[in-house]
RNA sequence: GGGAAAGUCGCAUAGUGGCAAUUGCAACAGACUGUAAAUCUGUCCUCUUCGGAGUUCGGUGGUUCGAGUCCACCCUUUCCCA
């Protein structure tokens, strides 16, 4: 994998670059739609490519391991063939499930045992088998196995968790370096910086991950409930330390505002379930603010969903119709909202990139953030 | 004409002497950040300084300390027999 920086903002840390992977190029900063089980919920691959202009999507090791299982994916020739996406993919390691499945998992130094959320069966994830599984899934970017710490998280817990995550990283890297891709193309491994909201732990975590010459670095354990300012503060601290010539990925972030601020702080990659999940729950993000499409005020608003939207659904359908679909619990509502939100997110990062290259990102960003926070 | 059953907060339901009154739907809001989420939460008779206060269960009377619940009559609806 290659990363080339095209330009850096004069008045903040925003960067525009290009990541080259075996499945194609990714222009950064980029938002990566989440497709946990190998599918971006409610959105077909053609729409993802042609309407949304997605360049890379996520999959999840834990979910794909449980279903359909790595055998099937291997028989298909890797995840990009299995889901017909055939473009860059990234798999999360299951580290987030260490956090989100808190009640049905147990962490040890060795790894983490999970109860399947599907049938309750017991499964053990270790840094080694998580790398093996990600090799079998075949994403271009694999994530190290970590513990995404909860918030609030006391210092002692964060410190101990970071110790485990660091040990796991060492084992992940070791396994990564002693295995080869199954499908003949290069796969990268991104370490994850943890350390909760503690500056010294984060600094220590950054220095720890930097000892490995990996293709990119991620910030994890943020946007889990901490104050937004804290998230920015930690992000800023980390991007000051992490190597400039490698992509930085802020995991699980976030709102459109979070993404623009993240870009200003030197982040290149983002992913979040928000555009799809909130879309399914009737929330639309637009350049003028957010809308709850279930609200009565849209009942007879026959204006386009988003006049300035880039997806065809934005001008094809009206707000009143979309509200009707949500109220009637029609599956089409979820699809339209997901397409709109993802197209908006991808439009947003593309604009950000353009303004970074043009050199006026910072002022544009401030203007946008103000608008994005509105409630329509 | 004769007989039977039933009328509860938008709709549908629960309730057979201590209830502002069950549940579902609908309605109206809110939440959602590396997806156990097409999910979850709240409001849903009126007013409220959120402590409460005031009016309710087809209607009118009555029994009772107390009635959606018991009694009488009336009104309405449904079904059955002529």
Per-domain residue ranges of chain A = 2-278
Q: Which residues pair with A89 in a beta bridge?
A: A57
DSSP bridge pairs for A90: A58, A141
A179 CA → B3 C1’, Å: 89
Q: Give the three-class secondary structure for A108.
A: coil
Note the pLDDT of residue A175: 98
In whole angstroms, B75 C1' to A296 CA is 39
Crossing angle of helices A256-264 and A361-372, in 10° steps, is: 160
CA dihedral for A93, A218, A279, A338, sign (positive or negative): negative
**Whether A196 CB is under 7 Å from strand B:** no
Measured distance CA(A152)–CA(A281) in Å, rounded: 27
Q: Specify whether the CB–CB gap between A197 and A149 falls below 8 A.
A: no
Q: Count CB neighbours of A200 within 10 A.
A: 11
A79 touches strand B (CB under 7 A): no
The SS3 call for residue A44 is coil
B chain positions with any atom within 7 Å of a protein CB: 26-40
Query: A212 vs A176, A190, A243, CA distance in Å?
Result: 11, 10, 11
Pairing type for strands A217-219 and A192-193 reads parallel
What phi and psi values does residue A334 have, to the nearest 5 degrees? Answer: -65, -40
Report the 10 Å Cβ neighbour count for A319: 22
Q: Looking at residue A265, what is its pLDDT?
A: 98
Q: Are A109 and A167 in contact (CB under 8 A)?
A: yes
Nearest to A241 by CA among A199, A299, A277, A279: A199
CA of A281 to C1' of B37 (A): 9
In 3-state terms chain A splits into helix, strand, coil percentages (rounded to 5) of 45, 20, 35
Residue A31, CA atoms < 13 Å, CB-side half-sphere: 32
Yes or no: say if A30 and A56 are a contact pair by the CB < 8 Å rule.
yes
DSSP A186-236: --EEE-EE--TT-HHHHHHHHHHHHTS--S-EEE-S-SSSS-HHHHHHHHH
A103 touches strand B (CB under 7 A): yes
A2-278: what fold? TIM Barrel (3.20.20)
Q: Quick one: which H or E segment has residue A308?
A: none
In whole angstroms, how large is the CA radius of gyration of chain A? 20
CB–CB of A303/A376 below 8 Å?
A: no
How far: A322 CA to B20 C1' (Å)? 38
Question: E strand or H helix at A62, and its extent?
Answer: helix A61-66
The A 271-310 residues near strand B by Cβ under 7 Å are 271-274, 276-278, 280-283, 292, 294-297, 299
Q: pLDDT value at position A102? A: 84
Residues of A catalogued as catalytic: 92, 271
| Residues paired with residue A290 on neighbouring β-strands, in sequence order | A285, A375
Q: Using an 8 Å Cβ cutoff, are A249 and A216 in contact?
A: yes
The reply to whether A230 has its C-beta less than 7 Å from any atom of strand B is: no
- Distance CA(A61)–CA(A109), nearest Å, equals 20
pTM over 0.90: yes
How far is C-alpha A303 from the chain's CA centre?
A: 32
Q: Specify the pLDDT at position A103.
A: 86
pLDDT score for A251: 98
Q: Are residues A293 and A282 in contact, defined by beta-carbon separation less than 8 angstroms?
A: yes
Tens place of pLDDT per residue across chain A (376 aa): 999 999 999 999 999 999 999 999 999 999 999 999 999 999 999 999 999 999 999 999 999 999 999 999 999 999 999 999 999 999 999 999 989 998 889 999 999 999 999 999 999 999 999 999 999 999 999 999 999 999 999 999 999 999 999 999 999 999 999 999 999 999 999 999 999 999 999 999 999 999 999 999 999 999 999 999 999 999 999 999 999 999 999 999 999 999 999 999 999 999 999 999 999 999 999 999 999 999 999 999 999 999 999 999 999 999 999 999 999 999 999 999 999 999 999 999 999 999 999 999 999 999 999 999 999 9
Residues in A 146-165 whose C-beta is less than 7 A from nucleic strand B are 146-148
């Amino acid at each position: 994998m290659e990363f080339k920086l095209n330009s850096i903002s004069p008045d903040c840390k925003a960067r525009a670059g290009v990541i080259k992977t075996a499945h194609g190029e990714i222009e950064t900063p980029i938002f990566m739609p989440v497709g946990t089980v190998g599918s971006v919920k409610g959105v077909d691959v053609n729409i993802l490519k042609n309407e949304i202009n997605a360049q890379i999507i996520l999959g999840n090791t834990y979910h794909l391991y449980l279903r359909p299982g790595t055998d099937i994916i291997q028989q298909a020739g890797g995840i990009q063939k299995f889901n017909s996406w055939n473009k860059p993919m990234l798999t999360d390691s299951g580290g987030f499930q260490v956090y989100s499945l808190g009640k049905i998992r147990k962490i040890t130094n060795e790894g983490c045992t999970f109860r399947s959320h599907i049938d309750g069966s017991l499964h053990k994830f270790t840094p080694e088998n998580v790398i093996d599984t990600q090799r079998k899934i075949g994403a271009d970017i694999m994530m190290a196995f970590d513990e995404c710490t909860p918030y609030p998280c006391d210092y002692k817990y964060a410190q101990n968790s970071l110790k485990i995550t660091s040990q796991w990283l060492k084992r992940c890297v070791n396994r990564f370096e002693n295995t080869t891709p199954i499908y003949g193309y290069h796969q990268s491994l991104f370490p994850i910086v943890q350390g909760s909201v503690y500056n010294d732990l984060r600094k220590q975590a950054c220095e720890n991950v930097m000892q490995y010459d990996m293709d990119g670095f991620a910030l994890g354990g943020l946007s889990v409930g901490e104050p937004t300012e804290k998230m920015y503060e930690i992000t800023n601290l980390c991007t000051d330390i992490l190597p400039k010539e490698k992509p930085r990925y802020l995991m699980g972030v976030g709102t459109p505002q979070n993404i623009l601020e993240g870009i200003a702080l030197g982040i290149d990659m983002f992913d979040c379930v928000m555009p799809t999940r909130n879309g399914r729950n009737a929330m639309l993000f637009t350049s003028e603010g957010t809308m709850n499409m279930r609200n009565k005020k849209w009942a007879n608003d026959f204006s386009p969903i988003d006049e300035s939207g880039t997806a065809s659904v934005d001008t094809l359908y009206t707000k009143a119709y979309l509200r009707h679909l949500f109220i009637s619990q029609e599956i089409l509502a979820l699809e339209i909202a997901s397409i709109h939100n993802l197209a908006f997110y991808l439009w947003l990062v593309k604009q950000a990139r353009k303004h970074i290259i043009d050199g006026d990102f910072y002022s544009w960003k401030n203007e946008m953030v103000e608008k994005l926070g509105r409630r329509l």
